[in-house]
Amino acid sequence: MTAAARVPLCATLLAIALLIACDKGDSQGHTPASVVQDFVEAMGSVHGEPERAKAAYNLLWSHAQENLKERAATASALLGRVVEPEEMIAPSQFSLQFAPKHYLTVLHGDWAEVTVQNGSAQRVVRCINEQGAWKVVVDFPPPRPIERRRDLP
């Protein structure tokens, strides 16, 4: 085989390898793209649906879950009732300006970038493989500390 004939063959094999890598499922068979798709669908119906909020919460990476737990603890203290972490999810923070039609994944080890597209509109969503499961990376701002009134002892 000549060098000129090997170039298309190598390019084809590389393309096949990239396609296989981009569809790498986790221990439950979920891919980064399927997790992002599930998250987008769950977020579209979170408002007033506790099961959907829990489903969306379970798809978040551990840092986001810890942030929501801290916020829920603060809300619980302020309201005098238990507030679950998934109740702290505000669907308006996740609204997309378009309905996703295509999900394209690029893997970087335990990290993935999923490009959500519809025509020329697109958004990149990061995922991480935590303990064998793909999770959606959402960076929340740190919760504010509880302020105490200065006139109280």
How large is the C-alpha radius of gyration of the chain?
A: 21
Residues of the chain with pLDDT under 70: 1-28, 91-96, 146, 148-149, 152-153
Whole-model pTM: value is 0.75
Q: For the segment 37-81, what is each residue's pLDDT rounded down to a tens digit?
A: 999 999 888 877 888 899 999 999 999 999 999 999 999 998 999
Angle at 140 between CA 126 and CA 47, to 5 degrees: 90
The residue with tokens 């809300």 is 75
pLDDT at 145: 75
Is the separation of the CB atoms in 135 and 59 below 8 Å? yes
pLDDT at 35: 97
What's 147's DSSP letter?
A: P
Q: Which of 39, 15, 41 is nearest to 136 (CA)?
A: 39
What's 99's DSSP letter?
A: -
Both tokens assigned to 56: 């969306």
